Amino acid sequence: DTAVSQTPKYLVTQMGNDKSIKCEQNLGHDTMYWYKQDSKKFLKIMFSYNNKELIINETVPNRFSPKSPDKAHLNLHINSLELGDSAVYFCASSQGSTGLREQYFGPGTRLTVT
C-alpha cells in the first residue's frame, strides 16, 4: 500500500543531460512538495504545489521545472544537469496547504551526476 512513490529510485547520468523524476501519491492529498537532500543531509524545500498550482518556489535554478498534471502527481524535470545537482530528491505530500499538517515523504531518488 504505497502512499507516496517516486521513480526512479536511482538515477546516474552525465553532466549536460536532461532527466525527469516522477512522483505519485494515493493519499488524496492536495499539496505536494519537492525537497533536495544534499550529502550533509540538509533538507531544503524546492517547490510546493497545491491543487496543481505552484505555491512555493524557492531560489532554485530555472533548470529545474516542476510540473503537476493533477493533484496526485508532481514531476521534476532537470535540464543541463550539473555535478552540484547530485543529491537525494524527496517528494512529499500533505493534506491542505494550510492547517499545519504532517508531510508524507516518498522513498527518495538518488541522483548522481558524473
> Toward another protein, which CB reaches closer, 4 or 14?
4
**Residue 31 CB, nearest approach to another protein (Å):** 8
Compute the distance between CA of residue 43 and CA of residue 39 in angstroms, rounded to an integer.
10
In the complex, the residues that contact another protein under the rule CB under 8 A are 31, 40-45, 48, 50, 55-56, 90, 94, 96-103, 105-108
> At closest approach, how far in Å is the CB of 23 from another protein?
12
Q: Sort strands 19-25 and 4-7 into parallel, antiparallel or unpaired.
A: antiparallel
Residue type, 74: L
Q: Give the residue with the Cβ less far from another protein, 3 or 15.
A: 3
Distance of closest approach, residue 42 Cβ to another protein, in angstroms? 6
| Cβ 52 vs Cβ 70: under 8 Å | yes
Identify the residue whose cell numbers are 532537470.
78
Query: Which residue matches cell numbers 500533505?
Result: 94
**Which one, 4 or 113, has the nearer CB to another protein?**
4
Of residues 42 and 63, the one with the C-beta less far from another protein: 42
Place of cell 550533509: 40
